Amino acid sequence: MADFVQFLGTAGGRFVVARQQRSSAGTWLQLCGQRIILDPGPGTLLRCWQVQPPRDPRQLDAVICSHQHIDHCSDANVMVEAMTNGGYERRGLLFAPQEALSGDSPLCRYVQEFPEEVVALADGLQHEVGSVRFTAVRHQHTTETYGLIFVSQDVRLGFVTDTSYFPELPGRYRDCHLLVVNVVLDERNHPATARHLSLSHAEQIIREAQPGQAILTHFGTRVIERNPERVAAGMSERLGIPVTAATDGMKLRTGVL
């Protein structure tokens, strides 16, 4: 079975999500025969069945939430329920920051009883889903948040999820064959206090991390206004690295990277 990544949704930020200007479903990964949903936001369950061919959430092996914000985990509960046959079959893994597994979090306590294992993400720690290994990278956001680097069949796939920019960030994602960057803001609405990346931050990360290929996703209103495809084309030209703007449903074979 070929490895692939499918962007079920590419929305970022509350306004794009509220209007469903883009879908806020998560990213489906199929690596080494393992099926993983990353950051299942609002509409993920629905979207799984709408894409062609459908992605059956009952076949999932892991649900991963980078942090507890609604647009990253509102559908995690239903995805875990599907993965565990409504809680009747103890199987699959749930990964999330400790902060999202305790206290006032959208991840229901009773649902956390269903998977075979619930694992708290930790900086630099290597986690496993079958033969897929991934490392969590601590980010700086308004709540405990991690980026992820998956290794499958010697291919390194980095996911720079929500974060503000910090100088060590690009270095943590070096040597990725594919680097996915969540870019919510452009420069016009990017105050110094913003806890999300802007387009120029994304460009700087790609320049320093030097991936084989980069994908922009998780777009806020202003980035969509700027036309993500055009923005990505400009970056590709300046950086000499192929940069693509993700679209809802876009699927990428990773074995050929």
Footprint of Zn ion on this chain (CB under 5 A)? 69, 162
Nearest distance from C-beta of residue 37 to Zn ion, angstroms: 17
Exposure b/e, 176-185, CB count within 10 A at least 16 = b: bbbbbbbbbb
Q: What kind and span of H or E run contains 238?
A: helix 228-239
Contact in structure between 154 and 179 (CB atoms under 8 Å)? no
Nearest distance from C-beta of residue 27 to Zn ion, angstroms: 15
CB atoms within 10 A of CB 77: 20
Q: Name which of 75 and 162 has its Cβ closer to Zn ion.
A: 162
Rounded Cα–Cα distance for residues 233 and 214 (Å): 11
Q: Name which of 144 and 162 has its Cβ closer to Zn ion.
A: 162
Contacts of 204 (CB under 8 A, 6+ apart): 165, 170
Nearest distance from C-beta of residue 162 to Zn ion, angstroms: 4
Question: What is the token pair recorded at 225?
Answer: 């206004």
CB atoms within 10 A of CB 106: 15
Nearest distance from C-beta of residue 179 to Zn ion, angstroms: 19
Nearest to 89 by CA among 108, 115, 63, 111: 115
Q: Name which of 41 and 92 has its Cβ closer to Zn ion.
A: 41
Nearest distance from C-beta of residue 39 to Zn ion, angstroms: 9
Q: What kind and span of H or E run contains 44?
A: helix 44-50
Strand-pair partners of 19: none
Q: Where are the beta strands (DSSP E) in the chain?
A: 4-7, 27-31, 34-38, 62-64, 93-96, 117-120, 126-129, 132-138, 146-152, 155-160, 178-182, 213-217, 243-245, 251-253
Q: Name which of 55 and 69 has its Cβ closer to Zn ion.
A: 69
Q: Name which of 16 and 252 has its Cβ closer to Zn ion.
A: 16
Q: Name which of 51 and 194 has its Cβ closer to Zn ion.
A: 194
Nearest distance from C-beta of residue 99 to Zn ion, angstroms: 12
Nearest distance from C-beta of residue 3 to Zn ion, angstroms: 27
Q: Name which of 31 and 100 has its Cβ closer to Zn ion.
A: 100
Burial (CB < 10 A; 0-12, 13-18, 19+), residue 34, is buried
